[in-house]
A = this chain, B = another copy of it.
Amino acid sequence: MDLDQDAYTHHISQQFNDELEQAKNHLLEMGGLVERQVGDAIKALIDADSELGDRVQKKDDQVNRMEIEIDEECTRIIARRQPAASDLRLVIATSKAVSDLERIGDESAKIGRLAMKLCEEGEAPRGYVEIRHIGDRVRRMTQEALTAFARLDVDTALNVAREDKDVDREYESAMRELVTYMMEDPRSIKRVMNIIWSLRSLERIGDHARNIAENVIYLVKGTDVRHISIDEMQRQVQDD
């Protein structure tokens, strides 16, 4: 290879690396926005802040636009650069993580709407402690899943998957309690149902954070760890 050719190849691969890095940065930027959406949605619900709930709902458009843009970016990279091995995994993992982030954004927008409904219909007599607790956890899980993605950190990713199990348990127990409460005070059913739907959305946010974490494991290890238990996941990661 003569020097010119070498410089040219180097130039191309540098450009390619820049493009990959840029797609990843756009994902993390979208992640930051979505994380704020989760936090704001919980705040709107707990503070009975109708205006904030409305803002969260409206900002979902921006999340949706980012999904489409980053998805296009990923397709462009595949079409032009024909990435292989770990580069291809990065593009695929990015595109999948974007879809999970969009859904987290969706669930946040739903919570924003429920916060507005609760402002109209009056506060629910129960469930705010659980909203705050589970809400904080899934917001942190979203953040950790993105950190794991940024740093290619398998341990943090495993941790997110583990936490999702806890969230599911806490969600089930909160649900049982709220159903019992509705039976004791039927007049509160409408308002409590808004809390129930909000908890459901938070539980789904936890699932999506877990998906992103599983994606990080795929990205780093090349193993698909969906649909297996945490123990099995840990074994697969260590065997590697």
Using a CB–CB cutoff of 8 Å, the interface residues on chain A facing chain B are 61, 64-65, 67-68, 71-72, 75, 78-79, 82, 84-85, 88-89, 92, 96, 99, 179, 182-183, 186-187, 189-190, 193, 200, 224, 226-227
Are B84 and A79 in contact, with the CB atoms below 8 A?
yes
Are A72 and B182 in contact, with the CB atoms below 8 A?
no
What are the 6 A-B residue pairs with the smallest beta carbon separation, nearest first? Answer: A64-B227, A82-B82, A186-B186, A183-B186, A68-B224, A183-B189
Taken together as a complex, chains A and B put the C-alpha atoms of A49 and B196 apart, in Å, by 28
Are A64 and B226 in contact, with the CB atoms below 8 A?
yes
Are B183 and A187 in contact, with the CB atoms below 8 A?
yes
Determine how close the nearest CB of chain B comes to the CB of A103; give it in whole angstroms. 10
Kindly report how many copies of this chain are found in the complex they form together: 2
Given contacts A183-B189, A193-B179, contact A226 B67 (CB under 8 A): yes
A-B residue pairs in contact (CB < 8 Å), sample of 11: A61-B227, A67-B226, A75-B92, A79-B84, A79-B85, A99-B99, A179-B189, A179-B190, A179-B193, A182-B189, A186-B186
Are B75 and A88 in contact, with the CB atoms below 8 A?
yes
Determine how close the nearest CB of chain B comes to the CB of A74; give it in whole angstroms. 9
